[in-house]
Amino acid sequence: MAAADSKTGEGMQWAAITGVIATVSVFAIAQGLSYPLLSFILQRQGVSPAMIGLSAAMTPIGFIVSSPLIPGLARRFGAGRTALTCAALSAVVLALIGWTQNVYLWFPLRFLIGVVTNPLYVLSEIWVIALAPPARRGRIMGVYSTIISAGFAAGPLCLLAVGTQGWPPFLVGICAFVLCGMCLASVLPRLPKVDEAGHRVSVLGFVPMAWLLLLAVIVAAGFEQGALALLPVYGNHYDIAEARMSALLSMMIAGNIAMQVPLGLLAERLTAPLVRLACVSLTVVGCVLLPLLIETPLIWPMIFVWGAVSYGIYTMSIIELGERFTGSTLVAGNAAFSLMWGVGGIAVPPLAGSAMDILGARGLPITLCLMCLALAVASLAGRGKA
The tens digit of pLDDT for each residue in 9-48 reads: 555 577 777 777 777 777 777 777 777 788 888 888 888 7
What pTM, to 2 d.p., does this model score? 0.76
The answer to whether 180 touches 2, Cβ cutoff 8 Å, is no
More confident residue, 89 or 9: 89
Q: What's the confidence (pLDDT) of residue 7?
A: 52
Q: What is the mean pLDDT of residues 291-320?
A: 89
CB 124 within 8 A of CB 23: yes
pLDDT band at 2 (very low <50, low <70, confident <90, very high): very low
| Position 4 pLDDT exceeds 60 | no
What are the distances in angstroms from CA 310 to CA 37, 97, 200, 226?
22, 29, 32, 12
CB hemisphere CA count around 95 (13 angstroms): 11
Q: Tell me, what's the pLDDT at 375?
A: 92
Q: Which of 318, 298, 295 is nearest to 306 (CA)?
A: 298
Instruction: Give CA–CA dist 153/257, Å, rounded.
Output: 9
**Do 318 and 333 meet the contact criterion of CB atoms below 8 Å apart?**
no
Average pLDDT over residues 57-77: 81
Residue 281: the pLDDT is 92
Q: What is the mean pLDDT of the chain?
A: 81
Q: Tell whether the model's pLDDT for residue 307 goes beyond 60.
A: yes
Q: Which amino acid is at 321?
A: L
Task: Place 181 in a pLDDT band, splitting at 50, 70 and 90.
Answer: confident
Minimal CA–CA distance to 240: which of 291, 285, 283, 288?
291
Between residues 300 and 196, which one has the greater pLDDT? Answer: 300
pLDDT at 5: 45
Distance CA 386, CA 13 (A): 31
Span 264-283, mean pLDDT?
90
Residue 384: its pLDDT value, please? Answer: 52
